[in-house]
Amino acid sequence: MIIRHNGLILAFDVDWDTKRSIVFLRGIMDLIDAVKVGWLQLLNIGPNGIKELTLGINTYFLADIKLGDIAHINEYVIRRLRDLGINGVIMHAVTGRENLNGVAKLSRDLGIDIFLLISMSSGGELYDLNLDYNVKLGTELGIAGFVVPATKPSIIRRVRSMVGNNYQLLSPGVGVQGGKPGCATASGADFEIVGRSIINSESPREVTLSILSAIKDPRC
For the chain, give the number of residues: 220
Q: How far is the CB of 119 from ligand O7M (least distance, A)?
A: 7
Site for ligand O7M in 131-170 (CB under 6 A): 147, 149, 170
**Segment contacting ligand O7M (CB under 6 A): 21-29, 44-52, 67-75, 173-181?**
173-181
Catalytic residue among 36, 66, 105, 216: 66
d(CA 81, CA 215): 30
Of residues 143 and 194, the one with the C-beta less far from ligand O7M: 194
d(CA 80, CA 110): 11
**Segment contacting ligand O7M (CB under 6 A): 22-30, 129-137, 171-179, 207-215?**
171-179
Degrees to nearest 5, angle at CA 160 with 158 and 165: 165
In angstroms, how far is the first alpha carbon of the chain from the final one? 26
Q: How far is the CB of 204 from ligand O7M (least distance, A)?
A: 13
d(CA 150, CA 148): 7
Radius of gyration of the chain (CA): 16
Q: Which of 90, 144, 169, 183 binds ligand O7M (CB under 6 A)?
A: 90
Determine if 34 is a binding residue for ligand O7M (CB under 6 A).
no
Determine if 104 is a binding residue for ligand O7M (CB under 6 A).
no
Q: Assess whether 36 carries a catalytic annotation.
A: no
d(CA 150, CA 192): 8
Instruction: Enumerate the β-bridge partners of residue 117.
Output: 92, 147
Catalytic residue set: 66
Residues that bind ligand O7M (CB under 6 A): 11, 13, 36, 64, 90, 117, 120-121, 147, 149, 170, 172-173, 175-177, 193-197
